Chain A
Amino acid sequence: MTTNDQGAHTMELALETGALGKRYGRAWALRDCSLHLPAGRVAALVGPNGAGKTTLLHLAVGLLRPDAGQVRVFGRDPRDDTSVLAEIGFVAQDTPLYRDFTAVDLIRMGGKLNRRWDAPLARDRLASLGIPPDRPVGRLSGGQRAQVALALALAKRPRLLLLDEPIASLDPLARREFMQALMGAVAESGTTVLLSSHLLADLERACDYLIVLQTARVQLVGAVDDLLAQHRTLVGPRSTDTGTPRGVVSVVRARHTDRQSTLLVRRDDDAVIDPAWIEHDVTLEDLVLAYLAEADTRATRTAWEVTA
């Protein structure tokens, strides 16, 4: 068991970006992205379609060259460095595989293209899932193809596993089976995982780290436990006061009825919140939705050139 402890994880960084940016033509697909992902975490990369999730993953695996800033995987630039590539297992969106290859062919291919390659691991995984070894993968179900792609990525014995929307196109049963296989593999290998999704629900129990992207920018990043501890929903009488309540660092999102105000706030760790407000814990979903909605409003405001 090499899984890192929640509290005392080593601060080795699996992924680190600094002011990272990527542009397609004049539009930025990712901008000012600075984040770090400690080793041993299972991180969810959440955001709506087009938020820049795929761009970030492609930059991390060296498929794309940054237009600004830098990206480091275990401290090294993944671009054109095959020794870094050897540390990364990557499953691209829609799990592309050579459709006329059989699973056995694909495992053999991995052996030819990687110095470190655990073919028995891949074979055992696929055998235990009942995936036929000699059928072209193009004729397998979507769920089976995703499992083949995961087995191939794991056979590299990667220290960082990047998965781009691995379950988006799967039916609920296949989704669960995929997450089960993934969590089993994480428990076994202790590999760091970053998986993107536009739906949080499927990942909520699997992840202990969260990165929220929206409109090409990072909105929220951190360990799930810390984020939940730092945020509160406050309910109180409608306040015309624009300032933040005592004990609150910032208001993420505020909603008002004519009598009542509901605030999702980031609290001050050392201060007590003004007792005029009733505190509630937040769920991960509340948190993500609040940040996404807020970023959305801001983007719309900018587009209409309205100042807040």
Chain B
Amino acid sequence: MIWLTWRQHRKQALFTLIALAVVAAVMVPTGLAMHHRYERSGLAACLADLGDAQMIRQSEAAVHCQALSHQFQQQYSDLAFVAILFVILPVFVGLFFGAPLVAREVEQGTHRLVWTQSVSRRRWALTKFGLVGGVTVVLAVLYAVGVSWWFGPLVTASSGRMGYLSFDVQGVAPVGYTLFAVALGVFAGTLWRKVLPAMGAALVGFAAVRLTVETLARPRYMSPKTLTFSPQSVLRPNPATGDWVYGQGVRDAAGHLVASGAQIGPCAPPGCGGVAAGSYNWQLYQPGSRFWEFQAIETGIFLALTVLLVALAIRRLRDIA
């Protein structure tokens, strides 16, 4: 079975290696340059100096650090687009590894050849799914580690790794996405039994599930925290914490939102002009320190979906003739 799986998929394996080599050829030099620049410009050091306190004193150094961040982001803004490519990479694995796994066999009728040898259908499925799944995990881990390293400076310099896009390509979540994409492809193959429709269905299904989880479920994984501070305060939120800010604004003494998306201050006593006394800055956010909790929950959801889809696919296999 192992030999058969290798013989059947060696071309795919070769293409994958070539694709990996191409990606590495782009990522390694740009990544090294980015890391080099990140260190040399003093951005790394100044961000480290800001520490991980929630609030910091607005200082000359902090302002300078933010300026450096902006400059860094400006310089590599083009590369941030590459991150979008990384977001859709897992679905390609699902389309090209997962969808044909059963669909091509049925489309070409070879399932009648391979399932009538002396190996049970279940063993065939478990071996194939296991091997393809194993290769997928290796690829996904390589991808996650590589992208986390490559993307690190840019993410730290901007809104932090909790933000959309950056959260999706780092940590362990990409492993979950990729396995899910493969399982979805396999399952779609057992339903449509032709490669192209299975691929199409897997693509649509993947996009739908990912968007739903990202926009509806993820913000609710843990209840967000609220931060309030007086306009007069010299302490401001620390930009280096990498918090995921849901919303911010200014509220009056009664708690009503009077300005959305803005913060005031710091201004000298007795108060800021034009703002009622007792108004305060308000921010609703997920602390950047919850990154790994969020990663674990997100990965867990996709792994659970993966297991479900594989079980369904094996069930469906019994009815294919």
User: For B222, what are the chain A residues with a Cβ–Cβ distance below 8 Å?
Assistant: none
Q: How far is the CA of A101 from the CA of B11 in the complex (A)?
A: 12
Given the known inter-chain contacts A86-B118, A94-B109, please indicate yes or no for A112 contacting B318, CB distance below 8 A.
Answer: no
How distant is A212 from chain B, measured CB to nearest CB, in Å? 23
Is A80 part of the contact surface with B, judged by Cβ < 8 Å? yes
Stretch of B2-10, B77-85, B241-249 on the interface side: B2-10
Given the known inter-chain contacts A85-B116, A96-B112, please indicate yes or no for A58 contacting B321, CB distance below 8 A.
Answer: yes
How distant is A74 from chain B, measured CB to nearest CB, in Å? 14
Q: How far is the CA of A98 from the CA of B10 in the complex (A)?
A: 13
Is A30 part of the contact surface with B, judged by Cβ < 8 Å? no
Given the known inter-chain contacts A98-B8, A109-B4, A109-B7, please indicate yes or no for A90 contacting B120, CB distance below 8 A.
Answer: no
Is A179 part of the contact surface with B, judged by Cβ < 8 Å? no
Is B114 part of the contact surface with A, judged by Cβ < 8 Å? yes
User: For B121, what are the chain A residues with a Cβ–Cβ distance below 8 Å?
Assistant: 80
Contact A63 B113 (CB under 8 A): no
User: For B113, what are the chain A residues with a Cβ–Cβ distance below 8 Å?
Assistant: 92, 96-98, 149, 152
Contact A114 B117 (CB under 8 A): yes
Partner of A92 from B3, B11, B109, B118 at Cβ < 8 Å: B109
Partner of B116 from A61, A97, A101 at Cβ < 8 Å: A61
Is B110 part of the contact surface with A, judged by Cβ < 8 Å? yes
Is A6 part of the contact surface with B, judged by Cβ < 8 Å? no
Interface of A is mostly: loop
Given the known inter-chain contacts A63-B321, A99-B108, A108-B3, please indicate yes or no for A113 contacting B119, CB distance below 8 A.
Answer: yes
Q: Considering only CB atoms, which chain A residue lies closest to B10 in the complex?
A: A100
Q: Considering only CB atoms, which chain B residue lies closest to A22 in the complex?
A: B321
Partner of A112 from B3, B110, B116 at Cβ < 8 Å: B3
Contact B7 A101 (CB under 8 A): yes
Contact B112 A63 (CB under 8 A): yes
Is A82 part of the contact surface with B, judged by Cβ < 8 Å? yes
Q: Considering only CB atoms, which chain B residue lies closest to A110 in the complex?
A: B117
User: For A61, what are the chain B residues with a Cβ–Cβ distance below 8 Å?
Assistant: 116
Given the known inter-chain contacts A92-B112, A96-B113, A98-B8, please indicate yes or no for A82 contacting B118, CB distance below 8 A.
Answer: yes
Is B115 part of the contact surface with A, judged by Cβ < 8 Å? yes
Contact A64 B321 (CB under 8 A): yes
Q: How far is the CA of A64 from the CA of B122 in the complex (A)?
A: 15
A contact residues, range = 20 to 34
How distant is B292 from chain A, measured CB to nearest CB, in Å? 43
Given the known inter-chain contacts A98-B110, A99-B108, please indicate yes or no for A112 contacting B118, CB distance below 8 A.
Answer: no
Is B217 part of the contact surface with A, judged by Cβ < 8 Å? no
Contact B108 A90 (CB under 8 A): no
Q: How far is the CA of A99 from the CA of B121 in the complex (A)?
A: 21
Given the known inter-chain contacts A58-B321, A65-B318, A108-B3, please indicate yes or no for A85 contacting B117, CB distance below 8 A.
Answer: yes
- Residues of B at the A interface (CB closer than 8 Å) are 1, 3-4, 7-8, 11, 108-110, 112-122, 318-319, 321
- Beyond A63-B321, A116-B118, A152-B113, list 18 extra A-B contacts (CB 8 Å): A63-B116, A64-B321, A65-B319, A80-B121, A80-B122, A85-B118, A93-B109, A96-B108, A96-B109, A96-B113, A100-B11, A109-B3, A109-B4, A110-B117, A113-B114, A114-B117, A149-B113, A156-B117
- Residues of A at the B interface (CB closer than 8 Å) are 58, 61-65, 80, 82-83, 85-86, 88, 90, 92-94, 96-101, 105, 108-110, 112-116, 149, 152, 156
29 pairs, A vs B, C-beta closer than 8 Å: A61-B116, A63-B112, A63-B116, A63-B321, A64-B321, A65-B318, A80-B120, A82-B120, A83-B118, A86-B118, A90-B112, A94-B109, A96-B110, A96-B113, A98-B108, A105-B7, A108-B3, A109-B7, A112-B4, A113-B4, A113-B114, A113-B118, A114-B118, A114-B119, A116-B118, A149-B113, A152-B113, A156-B117, A156-B118
